[in-house]
Structure 1
Amino acid sequence: MMDLLQSALAVLYIIAASQGFFLTLLLYRSKLGDHQANRYLCLLTLLFSLALVDYAADTAGLSEQWPVITTLLWPKEFFYGPLIFLYCIELTRPSPSQLSRRQQLHFLPGLLHIVVTWSLLVLPQDTQQLIIGLDPIVFDGSANSHGLSYSQLVIAWLLDDFETVLAFASIAIYLGLSIWHLKRYSISILNNYSEIEQINLSWLKRLLISLLTIYLLYVVTETLLRGWMEHVLGFSMLLLIYLMGYRGLQQPEIFKARNPSEPVPASSDLQPEPTEETTPAMVVESKYAKSAVDAEMSGQLIREIRQQVEQRKLYLEPQLTLTELAYLLSLPPHYVSQAINEQTGNNFFDFINSYRTQAAQALLLDKEAALTVIEVAMAAGFNSKSAFYTAFKKHAGVTPSQYKKEHLK
């Protein structure tokens, strides 16, 4: 019965690997989405597919007959984290770029892992089996009892517990860094765009959080339980990676439609999140402590900003950006951003959507217009029904339907 289950599991691994190779080919050849970022995603799905082939060989007992399979496919764990992290970096970058020397260092542990592991290929198969753990080794201080040299015993130890701990730590750290980067990016786009539904990458952030959660559970089961739960969690992680790949194909280039001269949200646009010790006012004050715009000038600027936005009804433009507003005012974008932050306590996104909400409120109460909710949303400058409901509830405190019901009694 167990042999049947093992065979079935090996077949499932091969089927999943085939799907992974297909997805890798799609990512490689597709012209959709962010091509540069998808290169990293392509390599990631390829590595996970190769991992499935390795699992299938191990489950079917082929690794014991041909340890070269495990030796060739083993060094991949240290590439998972860097590829996910660099995918997030590239996806939020304003223009495609070559891999910098600093970024190349992310792959150094993986390359070292390859050098150490593939050096075993010159050894006899039974020696490879001992070193890579297919046959258990008791580290009793005696090398001769295993027929291994001391240097080979050291390599065996490095490729066993030591490598496992480092690999677990590497993936967890890079997943954490990726989530942190996306969180900073989310803050940045709120200060620069009035419509973010297509560029907020919330899907990716949720996927990474799920992946990190499942991975931590996998570490626990791998360390303590070691059973079928290990395979269940492993398949869950693979499912999320493949889902990331297919979703990555659909994600449009974030900055493709923007003017090349338009500045990109940078780290300087990011403000620290308020804590128990720091209020929002303190955060804004700290952010602009060295700015050339003083409080008096900031107050004057917000009056000019409001005048332009209200008279020209700029909020009705769904794709309005901070740079476009600054251009109309003949002001540097960071001056406009500072005035909005300091004088209203809002970011650019909420500032513009508050005007859109006011316009929607008027349209909802216009009996002659008799517009549907989605028509009101579009007429007020929103790009989708979901964005409209979210903004309306935030600024009006109720849903559009509740607001209409309360005021048309």
Structure 2
Amino acid sequence: MIFWSLVFAIGAGQAALLALALWRRPVNAQANRVLAGWVALIGVDLAVKAAYFHGPAPELLKAYRLVGLFPFLYGSLFYLYVRALTEARGLDRRDLVHLAGFAVSLLPNLGVFLQDAAQQRAFFEHLRQGGYWPGRPWLDIGLFVYSLSYVIAGLVRVRRYRRGLLQRRSDADRMSLHWIDAMAVSQIVIWCIAVVQWLARIPWIDYPLIYGAVVGWVFVVGYLSLRQVAVAAEPAPASVEEARAEEPAADDPRFPAVEARLAQLMAQEQLYREPALTIGHLAKRSGYPEYLVSAVINRRFEGHFWDYINRQRVEAARACLADPDEARTILDIAYACGYTSKSTFNAAFKRQLGQTPSAYRQRHAGSAASGPA
């Protein structure tokens, strides 16, 4: 077990450094402080595991059992992190309800925490002879169901956020929260390992492997969270409901005028070139209410605001790439058309035209070279 003790100690050190970095990071500050607290708890968990696996002793039993119940917090902390990220707000006293699972998990273990030294030694021998902790197996089943429900709730919130983002911002791809998916999938994989270890005794799938995977998760979270971009908070629920109430059920007589105005703003003022263009800004420039502009884009142009702006950008880039006299690089053209990354531009271009920008430019360059002199 010395190997695993070393792995857990490394993970604990990494978690401590990551928690400190996240706490001080100004981007998405409120959410990162929730994540910092979560990672710090994992660091404590791993540190206790490192000490216990290095030299199991009755004196470590209470601390070992306490951190063994921390996973009841991890699912709810994932949900709270996602909520803080998408709403740009920290925790308050009402969020104590999300600690209920952990509080309930403590109840069957109160006897362990109240043991005196002699009782600890006796219980330690009981565990060494193959005995179980209090609450097994129902506590293990409850942990999996409880934590998984919170992860699913967090992913549902992310999906709702993405859908709203596509309706509001032209740079939605920069705030798509794909790192949240990676964090969630990693947690589910860890719990699946735990379930397999619980149901079937496979030699290389054991308890240390579960926390070895947790160490790997800490490094994944560190890499992803420190690279995250600033996330725009979703609008308050009241404003969303008001917008839905205002949106016309049928085509408004002003639709043609709004459609013409949008075409003018795109063709003459080229608003699509603004990387962080929002539906609110476009509505303000058009002179029409936001709900009406949104309805026109959704119904007349058959797509989200993000789709609509992407089509304008790709069409502008296509015209530049087809021009044999255009000397700018593909990346310069992408930036000029409002994109902020080459990968996003390439994906949008290929999705709309069926080929990459470089292939499109080469084809048109070949056509120009083979044309009449």
Matched, 1:392 2:349: yes
2:258 aligned partner, one-letter code: L
Pick the aligned partner of 1:104 from 80, 96, 99: 96
What amino acid does structure 2 have at the position aligned with 1:106? H
1:403 equivalent in structure 2? 360
**Structure 1 residues 136, 99: closer, same or farther in 2, change over 3 A?**
farther
CA 1:354/1:124 → structure 2, altered by over 3 Å: closer, same or farther?
same
Alignment partner for residue 19 of structure 1, among 14, 25, 30?
14
User: What one-letter code is carried by the residue in structure 1 that aligns with 2:235?
Assistant: V
Residue 264, structure 1, aligned to residue 235, structure 2: yes
Query: Aligned equivalents of 1:310 and 1:341: distance in 2?
Result: 19
Q: After superposition, where does 1:61-140 map in structure 2 within 5 Å?
A: 61-64=55-58, 66-93=60-87, 95-99=88-92, 101=94, 103-114=95-106, 117=109, 120-128=112-120, 134=127
Q: Which amino acid aligns with 2:137?
A: D
Give the partner amino acid of 2:211.
G
Matched to 1:264, the amino acid is: P
Query: Are 2:155 and 1:179 equivalent residues in the alignment?
Result: yes
Q: Distance in 1 between matches of 2:213 and 2:128?
A: 29
- 1-side partners of 2:256 and 2:285: how far apart? 18
Cα drift, residue 107 of structure 1: 0.9
1:96 aligned partner, one-letter code: R
Question: Is the Cα contact below 8 Å between 2:82 and 2:154 reproduced in 1?
Answer: yes
Aligned length in residues: 362
Q: Distance in 2 between matches of 1:16 and 1:362?
A: 52
Residues 157 and 69 of structure 1, relative CA distance in 2, 3 Å threshold: closer
Counterparts of 1:3-402 in structure 2, within 5 Å, are: 6-28=1-23, 30-64=24-58, 66-93=60-87, 95-99=88-92, 101=94, 103-114=95-106, 117=109, 120-128=112-120, 134=127, 157-158=134-135, 160-225=136-201, 227-230=203-206, 231-255=208-232, 264=235, 291-292=247-248, 294-297=250-253, 298-402=255-359
Structure 1 gaps, min length 5: 1-5, 140-155, 257-262, 271-286
Partners of 2:311 and 2:352 within 8 A in 1: yes
Cα distance change, pair 118–252 in 1 and its aligned pair in 2 (3 A)? farther
Find the aligned partners of 1:317 and 1:212 in 2 and give their Cα distance.
Answer: 39
Tell me the TM-score normalised to structure 1 length.
Answer: 0.79
Q: Work out the CA distance in 1 between the residues paired with 2:117 and 2:340.
A: 62
Do the aligned partners of 1:32 and 1:249 also contact (CA within 8 Å) in 2? no
| CA displacement 1:173-213 (0-9 Å, x = unmatched) | 22222222212212211111111233111122133223323
Indicate if the aligned counterparts of 1:377 and 1:385 stay in contact, CA closer than 8 A: yes
- For the Cα contact (< 8 Å) 1:27–1:42, is it kept in 2? yes
Contact 2:11–2:218 (CA under 8 A) maintained in structure 1: no
Q: Give the aligned CA root-mean-square deviation in angstroms.
A: 3.0
Cα pair 1:359 1:380 within 8 Å, conserved: yes
Distance 1:50 1:222, change over 3 A: farther
Q: Distance in 2 between matches of 1:85 and 1:129?
A: 38
Give the TM-score normalised by the residue count of structure 2.
0.86
Structure 2: give runs of 5+ residues left out of the alignment: 368-373
Identity in percent: 25
Deviations 1:70-111 (A, max 9, x none): 244333121111111111111111x4344251x321112213
Cα distance per residue 1:115-156 (max 9 Å; x no partner): 6545643322343466687256889xxxxxxxxxxxxxxxx6
Counterpart contact for 1:23–1:45, Cα < 8 Å: yes
Tell whether the 8 Å contact from 2:59 to 2:120 is kept in structure 1 after alignment: no
Whether the aligned pair in 1 keeps the contact of 2:266 and 2:272 (CA below 8 Å) is: yes
Change in CA separation of 1:238 and 1:392 when aligned onto 2, cut-off 3 Å = same
User: Which has the higher mean CA deviation after the structures are superposed, 238-247 or 74-83?
Assistant: 238-247
Structure 1 range deviating more: 127-136 or 84-93:
127-136
Conserved 8 A contact 2:247-2:291: no
